[in-house]
């Protein structure tokens, strides 16, 4: 881990990268649909491929799956609020473990006193619930949550705000993402982009073709000289 001293700013996504929450998000969408009288027929792989696209993709696919739901409630913000509440309820009752290797990686950054920022699509209430489950997240002093920037990933707004607020001219910046849309966001910034994803070998292959280094977990990164 000596390589970490080469960088002055570390950027992180949250869901699916630091914490294993994607299955809870999927369960929350299913719970939201069920509350409206619809059974979401997707498996997790299909949900994950949809969630990778952009922030509006779940809306498009859910409404395409259930035209009657669109008639019942055409305001997606209402349905998304129901999904958000379902996710928060699940967080309170289910485990949301750290991804492999995350805790020692964050401990190393804390020990080195390096600047680190999470840029997440999640709202602060959800972030607080995750941190209550995983106190190591409290070692990250800086958070950019969904309330703090205009356009969601794959737009770079969140990361650009983090870079503007927490870097100095000449700083070397490195960022970590697990999804296609997150990686697209990160690659529009001056940061060196790293993909950490064990689920999708095609995504890793596509990223590598663009010159992005990829890993299956932070466990691999811990024993690698970046």
Q: Which residue has the higher pLDDT, 58 or 92?
A: 58
Contact predicate 110/135, CB 8 Å: no
Q: What is the average per-residue pLDDT within 26-50?
A: 95
Q: What is the mean pLDDT of residues 104-117?
A: 97
- Encoded tokens for 32: 């939201």
Please compute the mean of the pLDDT values over residues 96-102 and round it to a whole number. Answer: 95
Where in the chain are the domains?
Answer: 2-20+97-222, 22-93
Q: Which CATH architecture has domain 2-20+97-222?
A: 3-Layer(aba) Sandwich (3.40)
Residue 136: pLDDT over 90: yes
Task: Give the 3-state DSSP-derived string for the chain, with helices as H, strands as E and coil as C.
Answer: CHHHHHCCEEEECCECCCECCHHHHHHHHHHHHHHCCCCCCCCHHHHHHHHCCCCCHHHHHHHHHCHHHHHHCCCHHHHHHHHHHHHHHHHHHCCCCECCCHHHHHHHHHHHCCEEEEECCCCHHHHHHHHHHCHHHHHCCEEECHHHCCCCCCCCHHHHHHHHHHCCCCCCEEEEECCHHHHHHHCCCCCEEEEECCCCHHHHHHHHHCCCEEECCHHHHHCCCC
Q: CB–CB of 106/140 below 8 Å?
A: yes
Q: What is the pLDDT of residues 154-199, one digit of tens each?
A: 999 999 999 999 999 999 999 999 999 999 999 999 999 999 999 8
pLDDT in tens, 201-221: 999 999 999 999 999 999 999
- Could you give the percent of the chain with pLDDT greater than 90? 90
Mean predicted confidence (pLDDT) in 129-140: 94
Mean pLDDT, residues 22-39: 96
Q: What is the pLDDT of residue 92?
A: 87
- pLDDT bracket for residue 1 (50, 70, 90): confident
Contact status, residue 91 vs residue 114, Cβ threshold 8 Å: no
pLDDT band for position 55 (cuts 50, 70, 90): confident
In the prediction, which pLDDT does 226 show? 84
Q: Is pLDDT of 54 > 90?
A: no
Using the predicted structure, report yes or no on whether residue 146 has a pLDDT greater than 90.
Answer: yes
């Amino acid at each position: 881990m000596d390589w970490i001293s080469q960088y002055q700013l570390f950027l992180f996504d949250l869901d699916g990268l630091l914490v294993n929450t994607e299955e809870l998000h999927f369960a929350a969408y299913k719970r939201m649909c069920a509350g409206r009288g619809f059974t979401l027929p997707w498996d997790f792989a299909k949900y994950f491929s949809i969630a990778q696209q952009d922030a509006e993709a779940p809306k498009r696919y859910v409404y395409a799956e259930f035209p009657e739901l669109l008639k019942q409630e055409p305001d997606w913000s209402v349905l998304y609020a129901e999904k958000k509440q379902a996710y928060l309820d699940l967080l309170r009752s289910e485990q949301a473990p750290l991804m492999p290797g995350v805790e020692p990686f964050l401990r190393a950054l804390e020990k080195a006193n390096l600047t680190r920022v999470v840029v997440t699509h999640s709202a602060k209430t959800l972030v607080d619930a995750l941190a209550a489950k995983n106190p190591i997240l409290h070692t990250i002093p800086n958070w950019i949550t969904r309330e703090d920037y205009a356009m969601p990933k794959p737009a770079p707004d969140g990361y650009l705000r983090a870079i503007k607020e927490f870097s100095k001219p000449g700083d070397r910046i490195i960022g970590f993402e697990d999804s296609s849309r997150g990686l697209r966001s990160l690659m529009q910034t001056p940061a060196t982009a790293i993909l950490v994803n064990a689920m999708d070998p095609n995504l890793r292959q596509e990223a590598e073709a663009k010159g992005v280094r990829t890993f299956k977990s932070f466990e691999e990164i811990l024993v690698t000289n970046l």
